[in-house]
Amino acid sequence: VAVTLADIVAITGGKLLGNEHHCVTEVSDLDNANADSLCFISDRVLLEQLRNTTAGAVILTEDLSADCPVNAIIVDNPQLAYARAASLIYPFTPSSNGIHETAILGSNCQLGQNVTVAAHAVIHDSAVIGDESYIGPSCLVGADVTIGKRCRLLGNVTVDGRSTIGDDVTLHPGVIIGSDGFGFARDGEEWVKIPQAGRVVLGSNVDIGANSTVDRGTIHDTVIGNGVKIDNQVHVAHNVRIGANTIIAGCAGIAGSVTIGKNCMIGGGVGIVDHVTIADGTVLSAMTFVSSSLKQAGFYSSGMPAQENRQWRKNMIRLARLDDMARDLKKLLSGFRKE
Amino acid sequence: VAVTLADIVAITGGKLLGNEHHCVTEVSDLDNANADSLCFISDRVLLEQLRNTTAGAVILTEDLSADCPVNAIIVDNPQLAYARAASLIYPFTPSSNGIHETAILGSNCQLGQNVTVAAHAVIHDSAVIGDESYIGPSCLVGADVTIGKRCRLLGNVTVDGRSTIGDDVTLHPGVIIGSDGFGFARDGEEWVKIPQAGRVVLGSNVDIGANSTVDRGTIHDTVIGNGVKIDNQVHVAHNVRIGANTIIAGCAGIAGSVTIGKNCMIGGGVGIVDHVTIADGTVLSAMTFVSSSLKQAGFYSSGMPAQENRQWRKNMIRLARLDDMARDLKKLLSGFRKE
Amino acid sequence: VAVTLADIVAITGGKLLGNEHHCVTEVSDLDNANADSLCFISDRVLLEQLRNTTAGAVILTEDLSADCPVNAIIVDNPQLAYARAASLIYPFTPSSNGIHETAILGSNCQLGQNVTVAAHAVIHDSAVIGDESYIGPSCLVGADVTIGKRCRLLGNVTVDGRSTIGDDVTLHPGVIIGSDGFGFARDGEEWVKIPQAGRVVLGSNVDIGANSTVDRGTIHDTVIGNGVKIDNQVHVAHNVRIGANTIIAGCAGIAGSVTIGKNCMIGGGVGIVDHVTIADGTVLSAMTFVSSSLKQAGFYSSGMPAQENRQWRKNMIRLARLDDMARDLKKLLSGFRKE
């Protein structure tokens, strides 16, 4: 939608050099921008592009403003200001309003003001949905689930297991919250299911990406703190606890009863074994395997970078007897020292 | 629901020290228990908590019974007995009964006694669904699919490809059974789809976790044995065969035509390349990569544990030339031996 | 369905030795074939099975034809010819025809000739769907989405984010196209969502497997070329570009802004970090981790093959100090050379 630069200044707190009545209707990079475009620049590498841009407006830091040939909005953190400004240009637009005639509501549901329940959604008994929340097409909300205000369940989302969800939470398509944890007791060769009686408790301002899953706890709850951001196809097992503002990239798998601190950054494809603890502020690079607790905040890694296949084959044969190599080396070293 | 200790003794086969008319209505840990709570203890580490518990009843082994201040149910395997007892307290409660008015049934479908087809579910032609089975909201059951008795397709589940499913199978939300296997023939630079004509054959007592997928076979069937338990976001490719009572943790990926024996334990994030065979009773720890057959039952591993990032960078540079290191070491050793 | 050998010759361009009026109705391997079965053989290893087969017809190369006791169809590439022939025997059969009465269509949708919209599907405003396309049960097609001709969205598929899809595209159940990319700007300890304004642009002849996800771009589009084949549970992040005819096996994860060339083969479970480039024709074996650009086409690997657990533990302890080992070895080598 069309947004004036005055509106952008209001939401970003920036200082405008230019025409506050100018409207932008889209975002762009500096190269492809036209008078309707909003851009941002946070890296001097793009200085040449800035000088030549024909954008409607550019969000930038003070030091770059002299090089901006068009309307400039000066802020401390251009990316952050851009995120806020772009949210004005691309507001969330629900697919429908009110309760769609094909939606199914159970008994004793409590729906707040201006709740949307889209086509073919199913809300079971005693669910509570807060003001302004949007339940997208074909979503399933289980019995006794509580969903806060201004939440968005975008489509084909399932929330079950009496889970409770805070305010301003976005669940992308295919997300499943509150499915059973994976717990079985052995009976000879067979496995007997351990009923999963806990909930999922999601804080506020949580985002969970497409097809990610969060299992309910066994006895206690699975707890995800405020401001946690989870990417697509992430698996969060039962009894996991994730601290506020931790961010988890795609395809990560978090096994049962893991505790992750706040302000962590978990890379894509990371695997964390069950029952370990990860300190606040820990950073894990992509495809790291965490097999024991990381009690000191730090930057940890373990993925093996790609090698040319023939070299890799040779190296892996050696790796399989690395312990022997180390012993041989030790032997040599002790001999060497004796000399 | 409220369950008497007499009921629990009946299902667990235990011996009660206490009041058989006492009712419990929830599970708890020893610390947070009240008179309505059922607990279990299988580890002497919790002895102090046992001595101080105010639970309604505790399931435990004989040797711990003297330390239990409340009703005690003595069994050999407290976790197993707990699993059975908890299933009484938390019975499966379908979201609806009978055939929902918004469900769509094709022609020639055979539905057994007391089958539930929930809101917006779609059952295609000639599907067969056994007695007491539950087809949850928005589930899709394809043409010619056969589903046994007392199965539960919890919500947004898809079963297609003429698959056949045994009795007492639970498919959690988002599960997809019988999607096409990934098979293509090369035609110059292009790929031509190889039609997938096999089925998925699931045994009885199988559980499959949220958003997991099992592809149909190419010519023969993909076969999953009785009692197999599969966690969330697991991928089982076409033509795979998995033996009875094997258990597979979250995010594992099993490539095409793999044969996994019975009673195996496959850890989270494990990857298994196509066409390999894994012996009965094999255990694979989390994130193990299986690139060739494991013909001897055993405990195998290969994930690389997390290292501090700076150290990891150095180590990975060395790893890329490990074969050279091994040659150098060999040279030194031969020199050393000559001396 | 029943297909004559004449039909198969017509689609495969082969040469028939036998009865062109013979019908086959199924595919089989050589061992289990009967007169209704079509088989193929591309490997002399199966020569004995060929000599003893009772198939209705066998697709094979010239050199094997003398050993075929039944109708033979001689071609250069039996697997490719088989793929085409089998597509006649197993044509796609939509679950319904026309617009199902429970489907929901928004305003200003443009539907081509013979479009199917199955039960409980939801098509939002201004979507365009080309001739002969099939929108399966419970699929969601978002506003302004464009879908080409002869596409198949099989069931529970979501396409949103104003994405555009070419012709002859198959999206298997649970696929999500055009969900938001994972982009956040930091505001102190909190994360502020960066609106995702780009689309997904899928070429023609693309297949995407069950529960895979492709995120829309941030400013530019996520672009997947013609003929790309993607298996189940693959994650393609925002701004990724994938060249024509690249094939990606299950559980791979492609991080944001990655560029993958054409004709690449990406193995199962591969992880690729953000912003790297992969050359045309690159092959990555299963579970390879790509942490920097691969600018030369080649065959790359990095998964660590499974080891017996006890040996692995020892080796991993050594691996954690591999750099020290390398230094020690260097020291020894320099001493050795001095002697």
The band of A171, judged by pLDDT with boundaries at 50, 70 and 90, is very high
Query: Residue A216 — left, alpha, or beta (φ > 0 → left; ψ -120 to 50 → alpha)?
Result: beta
Partners of C184 on chain A (C-beta within 8 Å) are: 83, 229, 247
Q: Return the partners of chain A (3 or more C-beta pairs < 8 Å).
A: B, C
Best residue in C124, C179, C277 for a mutation probing chain A (most A CBs within 10 Å): C179
SS3 of chain B: CCEEHHHHHHHHCCEEECCCCCEECEECCCCCCCCCEEEECCCHHHHHHHHHCCCCEEEECHHHHHHCCCEEEECCCHHHHHHHHHHHHCCCCCCCCCECCCCEECCCCEECCCCEECCCCEECCCCEECCCCEECCCCEECCCCEECCCCEECCCCEECCCCEECCCCEECCCCEEEECCCCEEEECCEEEECCCCCCEEECCCCEECCCCEEECCCCCCEEECCCCEECCCCEECCCCEECCCCEECCCCEECCCCEECCCCEECCCCEECCCCEECCCCEECCCCEECCCECCCCEEECCCECEEHHHHHHHHHHHCCHHHHHHHHHHHHHHHHHC
Out of B28, B211, B227, name the one closest to residue A190 (CB).
Answer: B227
Are the beta carbons of A173 and C160 separated by less than 8 Å? yes
pLDDT digits (tens, 9 = 90+) for C81-93: 999 999 999 999 8
- How much is the average pLDDT of B264-276? 98
- Range of weakest confidence among A69-83, A91-105, C152-166: A91-105
- pLDDT in the model for residue A338: 55
Query: Quick check: B337 pLDDT over 80?
Result: no
Report the C-alpha gap between A138 and B138 in whole angstroms.
7
| CA distance to partner chain C, nearest, from residue B306 (Å) | 9
Query: Quick check: B95 pLDDT over 90?
Result: no
pLDDT digits (tens, 9 = 90+) for B158-182: 999 999 999 999 999 999 999 999 9
Out of A250, A319, A325, name the one closest to residue C235 (CB).
Answer: A250
Tokens 């071609």, residue located: C75
Partners of C89 on chain B (C-beta within 8 Å) are: 195, 197
- pLDDT in the model for residue C338: 54
Angle at alpha carbon of residue C313, lines to C308 and C315, rounded to 5°: 90
Proportion of chain C above pLDDT 90, given as a percent: 95
Proportion of chain A above pLDDT 70, given as a percent: 99
Partners of A253 on chain B (C-beta within 8 Å) are: 233, 250-251, 268-269
So what's the ipTM on this one? Answer: 0.96
pLDDT digits (tens, 9 = 90+) for B19-43: 999 999 999 999 999 999 999 998 8
Interchain CB contacts (distance < 8 Å): A and B: 229
- How much is the average pLDDT of C188-210? 98
Q: What is the mean pLDDT of chain A?
A: 96
Partners of A187 on chain B (C-beta within 8 Å) are: 77, 80
Query: Quick check: A48 pLDDT over 90?
Result: yes
Best residue in B138, B175, B194, B275 for a mutation probing chain C (most C CBs within 10 Å): B194
pLDDT digits (tens, 9 = 90+) for B125-160: 999 999 999 999 999 999 999 999 999 999 999 999
Partners of B172 on chain A (C-beta within 8 Å) are: 176, 179-180
Task: State the first-to-last Cα distance of chain B, in angstroms, to the nearest integer.
Answer: 80
A89 touches chain C (CB under 8 A): yes
| CA distance to partner chain A, nearest, from residue C230 (Å) | 15
Out of C87, C210, C229, name the one closest to residue B213 (CB).
Answer: C210
- pLDDT in the model for residue A43: 86
**Active-site positions of A?**
238
Out of A83, A250, A309, name the one closest to residue C182 (CB).
Answer: A250
Partners of A283 on chain B (C-beta within 8 Å) are: 309
- How much is the average pLDDT of C166-193? 98
| Residues C297, C281 contacting (CB under 8 angstroms) | yes
C232 touches chain B (CB under 8 A): yes
C36 touches chain B (CB under 8 A): no
Report the C-alpha gap between B216 and B222 in whole angstroms.
6
Query: Quick check: B212 pLDDT over 70?
Result: yes
Best residue in B117, B139, B291, B323 for a mutation probing chain C (most C CBs within 10 Å): B291
The band of C221, judged by pLDDT with boundaries at 50, 70 and 90, is very high
Whether C22 sits among the annotated catalytic residues: the reply is no
Query: Quick check: A28 pLDDT over 60?
Result: yes
- pLDDT in the model for residue A50: 97
Report the C-alpha gap between C46 and B333 in whole angstroms.
48
Are the beta carbons of A120 and C142 separated by less than 8 Å? no
Q: What is the mean pLDDT of chain C?
A: 96
The band of B338, judged by pLDDT with boundaries at 50, 70 and 90, is low
On whether the pTM is more than 0.95, the answer is yes
Out of C156, C249, C304, name the one closest to residue B289 (CB).
Answer: C304
